[in-house]
Amino acid sequence: MSTNDTAEKLPVYLLTGFLGSGKTTLLAQWIHQPSFADTAVIVNEFGEVGLDHALLEKSDDSDIMLLDSGCLCCAMNNPLQDCLEDLYYRRLRTEIAPFGRVVVETSGLADPGPLVNTLMADPSVAAHYRFGGVITCVDAVHGLHALASFREAATQLALADRIILTKIDLAPQAELEAILAAIARHNPFASLIQSPMPDTHATQEVLTNLQAHDIRLESDDQGNGKSATQSPAGRFSHLFRYGISSHVLRVDAAVTWPRYAAWVTAMQRELGEKLLRVKGILSFDDGHIYAIHGVHHLFSPPQSLAGNVPDHALGTLVVIAQDTSENELLRILPLLNEPSA
């Protein structure tokens, strides 16, 4: 796949967040803004009543698909693939207005991991779309309780590329500081936007310059990305209730394709479903730089990147896993650097 081919594909963003976090309210504001006019929306409902569809209040819903057959990540008939394919060909036949991106609003009870897998690895999706990233809403008022009580909320936060902290105008200062601290512990890699609800100004800010392979590390006073620890692996590991931890691994040498294949195989074998997400940017010995993506046991083909890559991001792998120690990852990591047989 060439870089140009990737650039021409339509980005698909996942909008997720636990029940009551403000996803639908935010989306209802977005779809009435001119900057959102070129966006197709897929709404996933949990339950039998299409409530979200009514809340969106879209007068012309030809570009909105309501999935009310259950949670997307649990459905057995590949509804996301079907909807994306149908949207694309309706667009091609000019049955609906042209759109330049897709936003999928997940159920508040959804684990976004399987959906990320679909967007990264399903051939029918990859033919026309590319994975744009995960946007997660977190409720400033009830977010701490959700994180402590529900694995889905913790996973949604851990997998985010961009976090929107909602209802900040309703949270007492102490609670706001507590949820901000929790976000910094649980996902130090995602960019953060703080937003009262409803919010009509942040649409472009949320979707601009968001790439699923972005690597953001804690910055020093000069704004240079770096790890906050002295671990040789550059570790950010914040174990919380459900055993989900985040790690930064460094690979400074150029990687060969056989080495990469051996590392992927080992990650699949040793971690499997415990691997919630891995993303990174690696230099290969063919002279190209590639974005790396994996969720659970599925890894998508590395995507060639064009343009400048920040120095702190090149050679960096971010691994988010459950019940996995740093030592387990470090035992596998040398496969990327060892000479292939």
Q: What is the CATH number of the domain that holds 248?
A: 3.30.1220.10
Domain that holds residue 134: 3-207
- The yes-or-no verdict on residue 92 having pLDDT over 60 is yes
DSSP track, 285-298: TTS-EEEEEEETTE
Q: Quick check: 120 and 279 in contact, CB under 8 A?
A: no
Q: Is the pLDDT of residue 68 over 50?
A: no
Q: How many CB atoms lie within 10 A of CB 207?
A: 21
Most confident option among 60-69, 95-104, 146-155: 146-155
Residues 6 or more apart whose CB falls under 8 angstroms from that of 228 comprise 188, 217, 218, 236
Contact 7, 179 (CB under 8 A): no
- Quote the Cα angle for 154-156-158, to 5°: 65
Q: Which residue has the higher pLDDT, 114 or 209?
A: 114
Q: What is the pLDDT of residues 206-237, one digit of tens each?
A: 777 777 677 665 543 333 334 333 344 544 55
In a domain? residue 182: yes
Look at the chain and report how many structural domains it folds into: 2
Question: In whole angstroms, what is the distance from residue 94 CA to residue 294 CA?
Answer: 34
In a domain, 36, yes or no: yes
90 in a structural domain = yes
> Any alpha helices (H) in the chain, and if so which ranges?
3-8, 23-30, 51-56, 79-92, 113-121, 123-126, 143-149, 151-158, 173-186, 203-207, 257-270, 326-332
- Residue where one domain finishes, among candidates 207, 226, 257: 207
Q: Which long-range contacts (CB under 8 A, 24 or more apart) does 236-243 make?
A: 236/188, 236/189, 237/326, 238/185, 238/186, 238/188, 240/147, 240/154, 240/185, 240/186, 241/147, 241/148, 241/154, 242/151, 242/154, 242/155, 242/322, 243/322, 243/323
User: What percent of the chain stands above pLDDT 90?
Assistant: 20
Co-location of 249 and 159 in the same domain: no
Query: Which CATH number does the domain housing residue 189 bear?
Result: 3.40.50.300
Question: Are 275 and 264 spatial neighbours (Cβ–Cβ below 8 Å)?
Answer: no
Tell whether the torsion through CA atoms of 87, 90, 92 and 96 is positive or negative: negative
Instruction: Report, as an integer, the average pLDDT of 305-333.
Output: 85
Asked if the structure places residue 213 within a domain, the reply is no
What's this model's pTM, rounded to 2 decimal places? 0.76
Would you say residue 319 has pLDDT above 80? Answer: yes
Query: What pLDDT does 76 receive?
Result: 35
Residue 207: per-residue pLDDT = 72
Q: Across residues 275-299, what is the average pLDDT? A: 87
What is the pLDDT averaged over residues 77-97? 81
